[in-house]
Structure 1
Amino acid sequence: MRGVGGKAAVAGLVREACCEWGFFYATGHGVDEGLMEEALARCRALFALPLAEKERLDASQSKSYRGYNSLASGKHNCKPGPQEIKESFTIGREGEGPMRGGNQWPPLGDEWRDVMKKYFAATVEAARLVARALALSLGIEETFFVEQMTDPSAGMVLLRYPSSPDETEGVGCGEHTDAGFVTMLLHDEVPGLEVKPRGSEEWVAVPPRKGAFLVNLGDMMARWSNDAYLSTPHRVNAVRASS
């Protein structure tokens, strides 16, 4: 979130992106790129496990709905359309309190768990830095949002979108907006994400950018900004995606 010209220049760029797109790339976020690459590698290792191993960690077994959701688990939303082509694994904040609880950990050893917990914590801190930039971009006190993030209900969802075998029905994840404040997306080199900017009915592909988070504003941010900022519809095109 650092840039030439200092905070004011960054805030201006963030405001422009939020008003037009509801998405922006964040660099200078403080998360080590090596840790980001490690997290992606651990994610691949998880989804490479045999299906039976993953299904032992089914999210329905967790009170906080943490764990594995298979390709057969259903759709992201209730809109008409084909079955979505994705599998996921959810990790959340541990301990006692609202939106906290235990995680189901895959049989990949302590190092897998420790890397993912470290990456999760680092990304939450990066989100706090983004929240400062968002506040400045709205012309309010820099700490306005971070003061509300002392115990955030953050979660981390690992996702895999296999390629669609059907060139006409490639829906990795259907059109939706995110419900929360911000989503910090780290994706690998494979394309697939598409967004629909304000005032358009056309889908625009969002290319991966190494070392950057793609920040996605959710419905809560749209509400907090009185709809000055967007919660933008987006989807994953599984014809493009491959893993």
Structure 2
Amino acid sequence: MATDSKSLLPIIDISPLLVNCDDPNMMEDVGVAEVVRKLDRACRDVGFFYVTGHGISESLMKKVKEMSHQFFELPYEEKLKIKIKPGAGYRGYQKFGENYTNGKQDFHEAIDCYKEFEQGKYGETGKAMEGPNQWPENPQEYKEEMDEYIKLCIDLSRNILRGISLALGGSPYEFEGDLVGDPFWIMRIIGYPGVNQENVIGCGAHTDYGLLSLINQDDDKTALQVKNFAGDWISVTPIPGSFVCNIGDMLKILSNGVYESTLHRVINNSPRYRVCVGFFYEINFDAVAEPLDIFKEKYPGDKISQVSKRVVYGEHLVNKLQDTFVNFVEHI
């Protein structure tokens, strides 16, 4: 049984952070310091929080969801025109039953998009991800709207991470430069059908792969659930105009385990179709993720935080995708 989120997930107005995001001395601003304090508490307590004051218009947030609804309402034959194909970088439309989490079938359909890169740029590891994103022609201007939305999400993610970097006791720029100077990103546009029975798993319990996730969900249906560190499932009630934000596996590693990536799942108990547009901000595809020296020095005595893992992000992503699509790839 999930409990309601209204008093359990923090709501953080990050506008002071955005106003001062290019100032290396931003922590001297009282508003920024308060945002940083709230980010630290949210990341330590649950790993999820609402973000408001983020500067992306509510009209654009609604439009990308409305256009996604229009796509998912099309006949299957139309949607299959951009079907994911073997060797095409896991990009495009996947129909119901093709996505697996922890070996179990999820009840959703989706369009999967990734940052595009030149053939051969990342050698053998990158080969599995090579290819152009597949955008539908219907609805018209969908690609253009999404391109603009993605650019804004990249900038927003970078700025939130400056606040998180300060929250961990570093400079604002620990998650930039060689590590995230050329950030990879993932966009999953997911459709969850309405159901007439309870507890159909739209997406099974999982943590996210990367640094930071921005979730733009339908305003009128509650389906996302977060497992807090006490072991309770929290239902994440949508707040119009906000993003639900969470930290992923790479941030857990880089922070030396001080911040934990959090299990979450989707159960759409509504009889109405639900759309969620998830943007996932990652480190460079070929970057090595390991605890940053500054955080190993700052948290030497916390046994829980001693994460010794070294992970090349691109390898981590490809392995996760191959696990997710193991049945799908074999039966195309």
List per-residue Cα deviations over 1:99-138 (Å, max 9, x = no partner): 6641112121651110111111111111111111110111
2:109 — aligned with what?
87
Q: Is the 8 A contact 1:92 1:101 kept in 2?
A: no
Secondary structure in structure 2 of the residue aligned to 1:216: strand
The 1:109–1:47 alpha-carbon spacing in structure 2 relative to 1, beyond 3 Å, is: closer
Secondary structure in structure 2 of the residue aligned to 1:59: coil
1:57 — aligned with what?
82
Work out which structure has the larger RCO, using CA pairs closer than 8 Å and 6 or more positions apart in sequence. Answer: 1
- CA–CA distance in structure 1, aligned partners of residues 250 and 89 of structure 2: 21
Secondary structure in structure 1 of the residue aligned to 2:217: coil
Q: Is the 8 A contact 1:93 1:154 kept in 2?
A: yes
Secondary structure in structure 2 of the residue aligned to 1:229: coil
Structure 1 unaligned spans of 5+: none
The one-letter code matched in structure 2 to 1:197 is N
List per-residue Cα deviations over 1:189-240 (Å, max 9, x = no partner): 1110001111x22211011111111111101111111211110110001224
The one-letter code matched in structure 1 to 2:188 is V
2:225 — aligned with what?
194
The 1:67–1:125 alpha-carbon spacing in structure 2 relative to 1, beyond 3 Å, is: same
1:2 — aligned with what?
15
- CA–CA distance in structure 1, aligned partners of residues 192 and 204 of structure 2: 12
1:139 — aligned with what?
169
- CA–CA distance in structure 1, aligned partners of residues 51 and 99 of structure 2: 31
1:30 — aligned with what?
55
- CA–CA distance in structure 2, aligned partners of residues 241 and 66 of structure 1: 29
1:149 — aligned with what?
180
- CA–CA distance in structure 2, aligned partners of residues 242 and 136 of structure 1: 41
1:15 — aligned with what?
40
- CA–CA distance in structure 2, aligned partners of residues 120 and 52 of structure 1: 27
Q: Is the 8 A contact 2:48 2:246 kept in 1?
A: yes
The one-letter code matched in structure 2 to 1:157 is R
When the two chains are superposed, the root-mean-square deviation of aligned CA atoms in Å is 1.9
Identity of aligned residues (%): 33
Cα offset for 1:7? 1.1
Q: Is the 8 A contact 2:70 2:139 kept in 1?
A: no
Cα offset for 1:87? 0.7
1:55-204 matched pairs, under 5 angstroms: 55-61=80-86, 63-78=88-103, 83-96=105-118, 97-98=121-122, 101-108=131-138, 111-147=141-177, 148-167=179-198, 169-189=199-219, 190-198=221-229, 200-204=230-234
- CA–CA distance in structure 2, aligned partners of residues 182 and 100 of structure 1: 23
Secondary structure in structure 1 of the residue aligned to 2:50: strand
Is 184-193 or 145-154 further displaced after alignment?
A: 145-154
- CA–CA distance in structure 1, aligned partners of residues 225 and 181 of structure 2: 32
Q: How many residues in Structure 1 have an aligned counterpart in Structure 2?
A: 238
- CA–CA distance in structure 1, aligned partners of residues 47 and 195 of structure 2: 27
- CA–CA distance in structure 1, aligned partners of residues 254 and 99 of structure 2: 31
- Normalising by structure 1, report the TM-score: 0.91
2:126 — aligned with what?
none
Q: Is the 8 A contact 1:86 1:161 kept in 2?
A: yes
The 1:105–1:61 alpha-carbon spacing in structure 2 relative to 1, beyond 3 Å, is: farther
1:222 — aligned with what?
252
The one-letter code matched in structure 2 to 1:141 is S
- Normalising by structure 2, report the TM-score: 0.67
Structure 2 unaligned spans of 5+: 1-13, 17-28, 123-128, 274-332
